[in-house]
Amino acid sequence: MAMPEGVKNIGLLESSEHLRPAKIDPAKLAADYVKHLEQHPLDTEIREKLAIIYADNYQRLDLATGELEQLIEEPNQPPKRVAHWLNLLADLQIRHGADYDTVRGTLEKIVERFPDLAVAAMAQTRLGRLKVELKGHKETPDVKLGVYEQNVGLKYGSPRRL
């Protein structure tokens, strides 16, 4: 296998911006994925990527949920993949502000569908940590600090002796 030669003396260049790959426009990528799914509706990898784009780039959790639920309800899928999609849906719900009951319901589907598998035990563990996980993704309110005297330690007075 032939490997292309890399950039020589990369450390001596003023800027390496021209070497970075170009950013892909999420709108174009989503359009390409939709077109691909029209021709190949059972392509699970592309449908999963499209769901992530819908949630992260367009803040459309409803569209992402629809795509992932279509994958979850697809017949003859291995339990590990279905559990992966349910966990991904829970991740997206947490990132985009869904409430506790919604995320809990998503994770409980794993336990209901596959009670004897390891994925159910992992979902139970995640359910136990769910409130902490949700709290970690909430925005903390800004706290306005008061105005304090600038020279607190420089005041004249009797010096303290040790």
Would you say the C-alpha torsion 9, 23, 59, 86 has a positive or negative sign? Answer: negative
Proportion of the chain above pLDDT 70, given as a percent: 91
Would you say the C-alpha torsion 80, 86, 90, 96 has a positive or negative sign? Answer: positive
- Over 70: is that where the pLDDT of 158 sits? no
pTM value is 0.74
Which 8-state DSSP code applies to residue 14?
S
Fold of 24-138: 1.25.40
Report the pLDDT value the prediction gives residue 21, as an integer from 0 to 100: 77
Neighbours of 16 (CB within 10 A): 10
Contacts of 56 (CB under 8 A, 6+ apart): 92, 95
Mean pLDDT of 129-150: 79
Report the pLDDT value the prediction gives residue 129, as an integer from 0 to 100: 94
Contacts of 58 (CB under 8 A, 6+ apart): 26, 30
Q: What's the whole-number average pLDDT of the chain?
A: 88
Report the pLDDT value the prediction gives residue 128, as an integer from 0 to 100: 94
pLDDT tier for residue 151 given thresholds of 50, 70 and 90: low
Write phi, then psi, for 150 (nearest 5 degrees): -80, -35
- Over 60: is that where the pLDDT of 149 sits? yes
- Over 70: is that where the pLDDT of 90 sits? yes
CB 64 within 8 A of CB 52: yes
Report the pLDDT value the prediction gives residue 162, as an integer from 0 to 100: 56
Q: What is the dihedral of CA 58, 60, 65, 71, to 10 degrees?
A: -30
- Over 90: is that where the pLDDT of 13 sits? no
Give which of 135, 134, 113 is closest to 123, Cα–Cα.
113
Per residue in 34-88, pLDDT (tens digit) is 999 999 999 999 999 999 999 999 999 999 999 999 999 999 999 999 999 999 9
Residues 110 and 38: their CA atoms lie apart, in Å, by 29
Hey, is 71 helix, strand or coil?
helix
Residues 138 and 103: their CA atoms lie apart, in Å, by 14
